[in-house]
Amino acid sequence: MNAGLSRQALARLPLYLSYLKNLEEVEYISAPVLAASLNLNEVQVRKDLAAVSRRPGLPKKGFLLKDLIYDIADILGYHNEKDAILVGAGQLGRALMSYEGFAEYGIRIAAAFDTDPSVIDGKTIFPVSKMKDLCGRMKIHIGVITVPAAAAQQVCDGLIECGILAIWNFAPVHLHTPSSILVQNENMASSLALLSNHLRQLRELS
């Protein structure tokens, strides 16, 4: 299991999981049913499930729902809590900090950092100068960047100095990092680009 899990397949798993968790009064779930519910190709789902499930599915029945939920959550790392730090406690940063959903994803924002004294409270939001110390002590490996674009690279460099291994970047810039560091861009501008393009094409048709 987890052998042939492509990037895309991995990104589909949370979708499966959220759907499966909402099912009630169901003991088994089959790939065709799941595929139909999420508008996905049946074979694709079958392959994904085969890759994540520890026990094979049962012909004519499918997969035991309870086990499947467990297996997917496990692969997604939801079962072991990981601490993260966040840099940039502006509106977006604070929205993320107060998002309870992260617990479900195995992520806990242990602390946030900012340079603006007016947002620093010494309880959850600290001055950036304290970052390295805290990261080292808590062995934190995930950093969330929610600072303005202009400051993002510098913050990124700082996080790497602190021993961060994976970065979740909300700033609309490309970050330069050593190849061992994973940067996951939450690229809202790209999403908007796809929306705009769709609307324009509709307009051009008419």
C-alpha to C-alpha distance for 10 and 181, rounded to whole angstroms: 19
Determine, following the binding rule CB under 8 A, whether residue 197 of this chain makes contact with a copy of itself. Answer: yes
The size of the interface with a copy of itself (CB under 8 A), counted in residues, is 57
Judged by CB under 8 A, the residue of 68, 75, 159, 162 near a copy of itself is 75
Binding residues for a copy of itself restricted to 114-133, rule: CB under 8 A: none
Q: Assess contact for 14 and 76: CB atoms under 8 A.
A: yes
Determine, following the binding rule CB under 8 A, whether residue 27 of this chain makes contact with a copy of itself. Answer: no
Select 35 or 128, whichever has its Cβ closest to a copy of itself.
35
Phi, psi of 143 (to 5 degrees): -125, 135
Determine, following the binding rule CB under 8 A, whether residue 60 of this chain makes contact with a copy of itself. Answer: no
Residue 94: name the closest of 52, 147, 162, 138 by CA. Answer: 147
Q: What is the DSSP letter of 14?
A: H
Min dist CB 25 to DNA, Å, is 17
Which residues of this protein are in contact with DNA, per CB under 7 A?
6-9, 30-33, 40-41, 43-44, 46-47, 49-50, 53, 56-63
Q: Choose the stretch contacting a copy of itself; rule: CB under 8 A; options: 24-32, 63-71, 96-104, 117-125.
A: 96-104
Residue 165: name the closest of 132, 142, 136 by CA. Answer: 142
Binding residues for a copy of itself restricted to 135-194, rule: CB under 8 A: 141-142, 149, 165-166, 168, 172-174, 176, 182, 184, 186-194
- Specify burial of residue 181 (Cβ count, 10 A radius: 0-12, 13-18, 19+): middle
- Helix%, strand%, coil% for the chain, nearest 5: 50, 15, 35
